[in-house]
Amino acid sequence: MTDSELPAPPHMTPDEFRRLGRELVDWVADYMERVEELPVRSRSQPGDTRAMLPAAPPEHGEPWDDILADLDRVVLPGITHWQSPNFYAYFPASSSGASVLGELVAAGLGVQGMLWSTSPACTELETHMLDWMAGMLDLPAAFRSDGAGGGVIQDSASSAVLCALVAAREAATGSGPLVAYTSDQGHSSIEKAARITGVELRLISVGEDSAMRPEALEEAILEDLAAGRRPVFCAATVGTTSTTAIDPVAAIGEICRRHGLWLHVDAAFAGVAAVCPELRFVNDGLELASSVSTNPHKWLLVNFDCGLFWVRDRAALIQALSVLPEYLRNAATESGAVIDYRDWQVPLGRRFRALKLWFVIRHYGVEGLRAHIRRSIALAQRFAARVSADPRFELAAPAPLSLVCFRLREGGDEANQRLLDAVNESGRAFLTHARLGDRLTLRLAVGHPSTEARHVDETADLLLALATDVAKEPLQR
């Protein structure tokens, strides 16, 4: 069979890619410019997006003009604009130009970096970035790769806690059912990790400050030991999802050390704040942690996904996750001189995520990243000052970072829910809620690079005006 007789799929030529790629970069840049004008939370109803899609895929390739047009027609109406300056929901998943370009290169190279030998630069750039980040955040030296520790990029903080728990389970000795601990404010990913691993999870109570009570942790551990169970793992949270409360990691770490538990510190949102020397209180107690995770894909301008995970003892993690089938054997692995990151995570395959982190760090420089964190915090404080100056509102929790929790004093959950719904339906801002104790609380998280003072001011104006409307409507109670 000659080449011309072979089936001929309509691959894009490099020249076509060059032309269309430029067009698409323009589309993304235009999106960045106009995203502020779009309703922040999608108004799409269930089934709306699918109703615009043909029932069957095209039999023949379609013109690119049609494909691009459908980005505006089909996709954008169903997008909640996480990159809007008025997105304040959950925690941010902020992107940046430098990161998007890193992602483009990663896709272009199309590397699958499961082993060092499948692309040495993919592994070594990642190891180096994790060491850079450990230095930038001033993590204890034990987490760097020049000792027994080291770091890896996971897809998410959820994967990080799962890997930590698997390593803790593997290292456990003795007999009896395994038990893990976190506070009742710990993230749902910890509960999921416990379910996946079959380890029992105890939720430890928190104090007024929403932080874990160390004495309650120790009581629970002693009770489990007395009952013949094996306490193996504790996840402390630095920056809880509801309020960015900070567990007393040093006190928890002492307890874990005494009883031989693996201490994982989940600093998914807050951990990157340590890039600023004045915010290094988020690192307190880390010298006692076995592992720690934080997400540049939340607050450090790297687009999802980029979750950093460091361990003090990489051998424990590798021991737990390494499976080497014949078809992956290679001389570099056998030499023991390289890292194979497939042994540090659940999946085999892995993306070249370090590129976008590298681009972001180099584009901003450490000072530029500090400026982003400080700016977010200053904007959050500005908003907090606005709502707390209005006697109808109260702050519901301390705001040590860039999350503000607040609520209407009067009208209970119903009034607060109505206010939240009214803001989100306006399309001008998007906030989410948490439940503190038994009370509904609104959360406003700042972190997008395009958020300016005028945005938080307008959002405060909007909330205060809508609060007046809410107060006029009779409550159902």
Closer residue to ligand PLP, CB minimum distance, 297 or 418? 297
Give CA–CA dist 254/238, Å, rounded: 16
Give CA–CA dist 399/397, Å, rounded: 6
Considering the complex, what minimum distance in angstroms separates the CB of residue 406 from ligand PLP? 19
Contact residue for ligand PLP among 87, 88, 91, 352 (CB under 6 A): 91
Q: Coil, strand or helix: which one is 366?
A: helix
Closer residue to ligand PLP, CB minimum distance, 230 or 297? 297
Give CA–CA dist 58/415, Å, rounded: 49
Considering the complex, what minimum distance in angstroms separates the CB of residue 241 from ligand PLP? 4
Closer residue to ligand PLP, CB minimum distance, 246 or 275? 246
Tokens found for residue 452: 């300016």
Q: Counting every residue, how long is the chain?
A: 477
Q: Which residues contact 173 (CB under 8 A, 6 or more apart)?
A: none
Contact residue for ligand PLP among 84, 210, 241, 290 (CB under 6 A): 241
Tokens found for residue 288: 């006692």
Residue 405 is classified by DSSP as E
Asked if 88 is part of the footprint of ligand PLP (rule: CB under 6 A), the reply reads: no
Give CA–CA dist 237/311, Å, rounded: 16
Asked if 307 is part of the footprint of ligand PLP (rule: CB under 6 A), the reply reads: yes
Tokens found for residue 222: 């002693």
The interface region with ligand PLP, picked from 97-105, 200-208, 233-241, 380-388 by CB under 6 A, is 233-241
Q: Coil, strand or helix: which one is 174?
A: coil
Closer residue to ligand PLP, CB minimum distance, 142 or 401? 401
Report the residue number whose CB is nearest to ligand PLP: 156
Amino acid at 63: P
Size of the site for ligand PLP (CB under 6 A): 15
Give CA–CA dist 460/429, Å, rounded: 10
Closer residue to ligand PLP, CB minimum distance, 182 or 424? 182
User: Between residue 272 and residue 291, which ones bind ligand PLP under the rule CB under 6 A?
Assistant: none
Cβ neighbours around 30 below 10 Å, total = 11
The interface region with ligand PLP, picked from 47-55, 124-132, 237-245, 396-404 by CB under 6 A, is 237-245
Contact residue for ligand PLP among 89, 100, 157, 377 (CB under 6 A): 157
Give CA–CA dist 208/437, Å, rounded: 9
Contact residue for ligand PLP among 99, 118, 127, 237 (CB under 6 A): 237
Closer residue to ligand PLP, CB minimum distance, 39 or 271? 271
Helix (H) or strand (E) holding 75: none
The interface region with ligand PLP, picked from 58-66, 133-141, 216-224, 235-243 by CB under 6 A, is 235-243
Which among 267, 273, 272, 259 has a CA at the least distance from the CA of 291? 267
Contact residue for ligand PLP among 126, 131, 224, 266 (CB under 6 A): 266
Considering the complex, what minimum distance in angstroms separates the CB of residue 288 from ligand PLP? 19
Which among 230, 235, 258 has a CA at the least distance from the CA of 247? 235
Closer residue to ligand PLP, CB minimum distance, 283 or 333? 283
Asked if 243 is part of the footprint of ligand PLP (rule: CB under 6 A), the reply reads: no
Give CA–CA dist 197/123, Å, rounded: 27
Asked if 158 is part of the footprint of ligand PLP (rule: CB under 6 A), the reply reads: yes
Closer residue to ligand PLP, CB minimum distance, 218 or 266? 266
Tokens found for residue 173: 């000795």
Asked if 431 is part of the footprint of ligand PLP (rule: CB under 6 A), the reply reads: no
Contact residue for ligand PLP among 86, 94, 99, 156 (CB under 6 A): 156
- With contact defined as beta carbons under 8 Å apart, do 268 and 287 qualify? no
Asked if 295 is part of the footprint of ligand PLP (rule: CB under 6 A), the reply reads: yes
Considering the complex, what minimum distance in angstroms separates the CB of residue 104 from ligand PLP? 22
The interface region with ligand PLP, picked from 19-27, 98-106, 153-161, 217-225 by CB under 6 A, is 153-161
Which residues partner with 310 through β-bridges?
A: 151, 292
Which residues partner with 238 through β-bridges?
A: 246
Asked if 247 is part of the footprint of ligand PLP (rule: CB under 6 A), the reply reads: no
Closer residue to ligand PLP, CB minimum distance, 268 or 396? 268
Asked if 345 is part of the footprint of ligand PLP (rule: CB under 6 A), the reply reads: no
User: Contact letters (x/-) for ligand PLP, 175-214, by CB under 6 A?
Assistant: ------------x-x-------------------------
Angle at 407 between CA 402 and CA 412, to 5 degrees: 155
Q: Coil, strand or helix: which one is 95?
A: coil
Considering the complex, what minimum distance in angstroms separates the CB of residue 186 from ligand PLP? 8
Amino acid at 414: E
Amino acid at 250: A
Helix (H) or strand (E) holding 463: helix 453-472
Pairing verdict, β 262-266 and 230-237:
parallel
Helix (H) or strand (E) holding 23: helix 14-34
Helix (H) or strand (E) holding 158: helix 157-171
Which residues contribute to the site for ligand PLP (CB under 6 A)? Answer: 91, 156-158, 187, 189, 237, 239-241, 266, 268-269, 295, 307
